[in-house]
Amino acid sequence: MRIIQTTQSLRTWRRRHDPLRTSIGLVPTMGALHAGHRSLIQRARRTCGTVVVSIFVNPLQFGPAEDYRRYPRDLSQDLACCREENVDLVFIPKLETLYPQDFQTTVAVRTLSRRWEGEYRPTHFEGVTTVVTKLLNLVRPAHAFFGQKDYQQCCVIRQLVQDLDLDTRVTLCPTIRDADGFALSSRNHYVTKSQRQRALALYQALSAGKAAIAGGMRRADLVEKNMAKVLNAGPGLTIDYLACCDARTLEPLSRLRGTVVLLGAIRIGGVRFIDNLIVRVPQ
């Protein structure tokens, strides 16, 4: 497994890489790798001849009051994970490598970034789309793999790739969960047992919404009410949003049809949790 830290070495590696011989798959991450990241790497391994994983805690996608400094970092474990998963190349740029002193360009996807996460984290997606553009330009992969766990992020990146004519296919991979349904996340490192227990209600609420749709409910407001009841917000738990949206545009729906995504974000004791479920509404 090769480890590269500079953009210059990455460019040299990429120039030598013959795209006709083997396709490159990129899995962008912020490290603290877990089974969710592994599933993306495994999907890339099955699809592509060469698998590249990037590990970079991107300051641009954190708000000023967010957890950039305390975000979990464990490079030796991450490298061990990449070795186990037979990754070909790990790109671990330093902060000043991707953002030198005179860095001044950002990339923004306007409409899709505005709602939901964008409302609570106004600079987040611009940070994501800027770093992903840089990574796609450097690696020029045929495929890039993202997790459904961050569903809005996937939609934003798909739009970015389409709008900027980037020659990469974006693949959405299923959310990996614990046995009780709790979605894996690097941030779970600093979630207490009782926070985790309470936060599980988010998955349960989304599941109740899905079940209600399967049972014939078609009014979004009723499904949302149903989900909110399960979440039972109160002291200690705040709902940022809980909504039924069109799976492509992320616009809120009033009557449910086609493919719908149930999106939710809650806060418990200063920790934010997001989750979602995609539901195909029967005709």
Positions marked active-site: 37
Q: Which of 128, 108, 132 is nearest to 61 (CA)?
A: 128
Q: Which of 24, 40, 170, 253 binds ligand AMP (CB under 6 A)?
A: 40
CB of 205 to ligand AMP, least distance (A): 18
The CA distances from residue 26 to 48, 103, 139, 146, 153, in Å, are 9, 24, 8, 9, 16
CB of 243 to ligand AMP, least distance (A): 19
**Is residue 113 close enough to count as binding ligand AMP by CB under 6 A?**
no
Q: Which of 129, 130, 186, 188 binds ligand AMP (CB under 6 A)?
A: 186
Closest to ligand AMP by CB, 132 vs 212, is 132
Q: If DSSP codes are grouped into helix, strand and coil, which group holds residue 139?
A: helix
Residue 2 · residue 17 · CB < 8 Å: no
Closest to ligand AMP by CB, 229 vs 248, is 248
Residues 124-183 that bind ligand AMP (CB under 6 A): 146-147, 149-150, 173, 175-176, 183
Report how far residue 71's alpha carbon sits from residue 98's, in angstroms, rounded to the nearest whole number.
Answer: 18
Q: Which of 54, 129, 185, 188 binds ligand AMP (CB under 6 A)?
A: 185
**Is residue 30 close enough to count as binding ligand AMP by CB under 6 A?**
yes
The residue sitting closest to ligand AMP, measured at its beta carbon, is 147
Closest to ligand AMP by CB, 29 vs 226, is 29
Report how far residue 233's alpha carbon sits from residue 33's, in angstroms, rounded to the nearest whole number.
Answer: 31
Q: What amino acid occupies position 157? A: I
CA angle 101, 168, 13 (to 5 degrees): 60
Phi and psi at residue 232, to the nearest 5°: 50, 60
150-173: b (≥16 Cβ within 10 Å) or e: bbbbbbbbbbbbeeeebebebbbb
Q: What amino acid occupies position 181? A: G
**Is residue 53 close enough to count as binding ligand AMP by CB under 6 A?**
no
CB of 20 to ligand AMP, least distance (A): 28
Closest to ligand AMP by CB, 43 vs 220, is 43
Report how far residue 270's alpha carbon sits from residue 223's, in angstroms, rounded to the nearest whole number.
Answer: 27
Q: Which of 25, 36, 93, 127 binds ligand AMP (CB under 6 A)?
A: 36
Q: Which of 29, 50, 159, 226 binds ligand AMP (CB under 6 A)?
A: 29
Sites of contact with ligand AMP (CB under 6 A): 29-30, 36-37, 39-40, 146-147, 149-150, 173, 175-176, 183-186
